[in-house]
Structures are given as C-alpha cells and as structure tokens.
Structure 1
C-alpha cells in the first residue's frame, strides 16, 4: 500500500510542477489585475502624491445614479445582441454551403475568411470612409434619387453601421469554426438519413445542428466576448457619438479613465462590465445545457 501512496503523491507533485508556470502566469496577468481592479473600484483619487482614498460603495452608487451610464448599458445590450445573432447565423449558413463540393469553393472560403485578418483599426477606418456623407455608399444611393444619409452623424444609423462592421469582422473566424465543426460529423449519418428518405432540411435540423452543439457554444461565447470588448470600432468610427448613441461600456470606461482621469469610477464601470460578461457567458452555457 505504501508504494502506491508514494506513487500517487509523486504523480500529484509532478502535475503541480508542470502546471506551476501556467498558474503563475494566470495569477500575474489575470487574477491579480482582477483583484486590483476590484480594489480600485472602492477608491477615488489618482496615481499621484495624494494617492488613492477608500470610498466604499460611493463609485457604484454614483454609477447607478448617472443617466448616461444607463444609456451606455442599453447601447451595449443592443450592440451585443444585434451582433451576436447574425454573427452566428450567417457563418453557419455559409459553412454548410461551402462544406459541399462547389466550383471555386476554396476561393470562396478564402474571400469570406480574409476580413478576420484585417485589424479592427484598419477595418474601422475603411467603414468610416465608406459611410461618410460624401462617401461611396451615398454615391450608390444618389442614382436612385435618394438624399445622402449622414450615417455616422445620425442617431438612428450610426449603431447599425457599427453592428455591420462587427458582423463582417467576425464572419471569417466563425466560418472557420463551423467548417471545422462540420468535419467532426460522420458522413455515415447523412448517408443513413438519406436512405431513410430525409430531406436536406431534416438532415440539417436533426444531424447537423446537434452535431455542432459544442462548436456553436464556443462560437457564441467568443462572439459575445468580442462584442463586449469592441473598443476599437467605436473609437475609430464614431467616438461614441452622435449624442452618446454608440457609446458602449468598454468605451465609456476608457473615457472615464483616460479623459476624465476618474480611475475609481472607471474601475467600478469595468467591474460591472466584467460581471455582465460573466453573466452573459453563464446564461449562454446554462441555456445550451438545458437545450441539450
């Protein structure tokens, strides 16, 4: 019995030894920043000689009493939901289509995946040029007799432009994910279903979707996180305007921290963002588990 116990302890020690570099890095770059962020959210002041002062829940009370913060939360919810849904549906449909034997299939795959390699800043600058008042998009509308639309200066159209940019940017990544997921579904299932007289829609609903459950969950979570941290698109394209209509939570945090230098208040907003992200991911996982 003693040799078995000794062997077990040696295995445990070896496991912790191999895991220790990852645990140290996780603690330094993830756990410590999160703990320090939480601490900052209960303070006020700046990183100067005067230092930080403990203020308790004052930043959170102030945060929840500011009307702009509630508008920012609403903008974040609209932006996230309106981005996540098409960012999953469109790549899934394209993946099913491009998984078949088509003419120039590899060329089509490359064309759809290319946007994922473009930086968000470059993509934002391109969309800002496309949708400016005298830009190419309005140039296409003028022959139709339509007046130029101030896309980025209008509270109705600025958010849809950001959503379109985010969906386009996420399309290539999710397409790769779904194409990889489709390769894990055995072809024998489709052959058996075809012999049983199932049509394409029935095979998609009863074979493809169930087979893509883990893939779909991964794509859903990563897309949700992508939308919640979409700082570059807002910064480059709209700057949170017009009239705060495109100001989402991550950009609001940046403004409070590096424009107003209100670090405690910004840390409280960042803590709210972290909580929203965790709740969002948790609900997605729970809903998916229930449906499974």
Structure 2
C-alpha cells in the first residue's frame, strides 16, 4: 500500500524539482529582496522591512509610471477587444470558409512577429523624417514629433500594442463564435430579429466566457509590456512613456535598486494573480 502511494510521487518528482528551482525559489527570493536595500555591486543587501513599499507610495515618479500604465492599459485593451470582436463576427457570418481561414491567418501574423522587429519598424515609420510625417507633409499638414512629444509618444505605443494584439483575440473570438449553434440565429431570424438584436442577445451571451478570457489575457499582456518603451522611446520624453515593467527594469539594472524593483514586481504579481482569480470565479458562474 505504501509503495503504491510512493510511485506517483516518484513520477512527479522531476517536475516538482524543476518547479521548485525555477518558479517557487525565484518567487520566494523576490519576496525577500522586496524587504531589503542595497545592491550586489556594493556591500550587499540589508533588511529594511516595509521601507521599499512605503517609499514607493511617496515616489512621484512611481505614481507617474502608474498613471502611464493605467492609460496605456485602458487605451490598449478596449480597442484590442472591440476591433477583433467586430472582425470575427464579420468573418464568421459573411466570409466563405476558404477566405475566412486566409484572413484569420493574415490577421494572426502580427501576433507571432517579433516585438523587437515591429518596434524598430514603428520607430522608423514615426520618426521625425519618417514615412508618416512624409505623408502628412504631402497632404499639406504639419509634421508631428511623434516620438519626441509627451502627448503623441504614448499613442504610438498604444497603436503598436493594439496592432499586435488584434490577431490573437480575433482567433479566440472566431473559435468562440463557432461554438454558438447556428440554429439560434435561424430561430431569431424567423422571429424577426435584426442583426443588432442577434448580436446583442445571442452572440454576446454565447461569447461570455470567451470575452472574459480575452479581456483578462489582454490586460495581463498589456501590464507586462516592456519592449515598446524600451525599443521606441526609452521611457521618454519626460518619462511620459515609462511603463511599470520598464520602470522596475531601470530601477533594478540601471539604478541597482533591487529592493524597490522587487517590491514593484510583487505588486504586479499580486495584480496578475487577482485578475486570474477573477477570471476563474466568473467562469464558474
């Protein structure tokens, strides 16, 4: 009997060891670092308790970064859900199967494209003498300092992020739409329901779980955005495009303030866990 209980643990042991080494230990060490100060390049770290968390609450740069991240997240998530949902409905109902599969693949390509390559491409397009300003000039409009303006730099990052996310959500929504029985739409048409009523009373309720999944994953992907400011703006101008992950990277590897960076990472981890918990609870209902 004892040997029968031991056998499953023997099979699980390699996975549990890897989980402990590469997941549990780093998280535990991260929590420890969030209660320390100092860096590995000096005399070492020392215990400071909750000082890092308290310092973040009074740091104006941190609050500006939180505001930037909130703006970036909201402005990215909303169109990243609405646009692919509309495209998915059109592709699912109006397009032949062959053309639908082709367009689905075409829209999905940006999602698997290297963010580094895409970021360099967008930076080339939106630089002062880039293609976008050349088009504006030929149309008789003034050139816009896209990446050097505190007003316009963030919208360029948002545009890049939305463009990257649309394809993934489109595929998710198409998969969800194909689980809704066609008979519901046929019955609604017989009852005289128009396209909008069918969308509101059949499509949206049928996509409830899919919408929750897409919303949560899009928020998580957006919150962990790092490459966009790193490649395109360096967090500038005037710290206007510094996002949370980029800011904690700078705190850790430019300022060597591992304690503050760890405290920010713990906060981001808790937010992510909270979002996943909300998704699981809502999906159960």
* TM-score, structure 2 as length reference: 0.91
- Counterpart pick for 1:77 among 70, 76, 95: 70
Q: Per-residue deviation at 1:270?
A: 1.4
Residues 62 and 166 of structure 1: CA distance in aligned 2, closer, same or farther (over 3 Å): same
User: Which residue of structure 2 lines up, in the alignment, with residue 239 of structure 1?
Assistant: 234
User: Which residue of structure 2 lines up, in the alignment, with residue 98 of structure 1?
Assistant: 91
User: Which residue of structure 1 lines up, in the alignment, with residue 179 of structure 2?
Assistant: 184
- Show CA shifts across 1:85-106 (max 9, x none): 1111111111111112426333
CA RMSD of aligned residues (A): 2.3
- Counterpart pick for 1:117 among 103, 112, 117: 112
- Matched residues in 1 for 2:248 and 2:86: separation? 36
Aligned residues: 283
Residues 48 and 156 of structure 1: CA distance in aligned 2, closer, same or farther (over 3 Å): closer
1:159 equivalent in alignment to 2:154: yes
Gaps of 5+ in 1: 1-5
- Matched residues in 2 for 1:32 and 1:96: separation? 45
Residues 256 and 49 of structure 1: CA distance in aligned 2, closer, same or farther (over 3 Å): closer
Residues 24 and 220 of structure 1: CA distance in aligned 2, closer, same or farther (over 3 Å): farther
User: Which residue of structure 1 lines up, in the alignment, with residue 222 of structure 2?
Assistant: 227
User: Which residue of structure 1 lines up, in the alignment, with residue 255 of structure 2?
Assistant: 260
> Which secondary structure state, in structure 2, belongs to the residue aligned with residue 242 of structure 1?
coil
- Matched residues in 1 for 2:270 and 2:204: separation? 30
- Counterpart pick for 2:34 among 35, 38, 41: 41
1:4-153 to structure 2, matched below 5 A, reads 20-48=13-41, 50-102=43-95, 104-153=99-148
Q: Per-residue deviation at 1:278?
A: 3.2
1:165-204 to structure 2, matched below 5 A, reads 165-204=160-199
Greater shift in the superposed pair: 84-93 or 268-277? 268-277
- Matched residues in 2 for 1:22 and 1:80: separation? 35
Q: Per-residue deviation at 1:144?
A: 2.3
Gaps of 5+ in 2: none
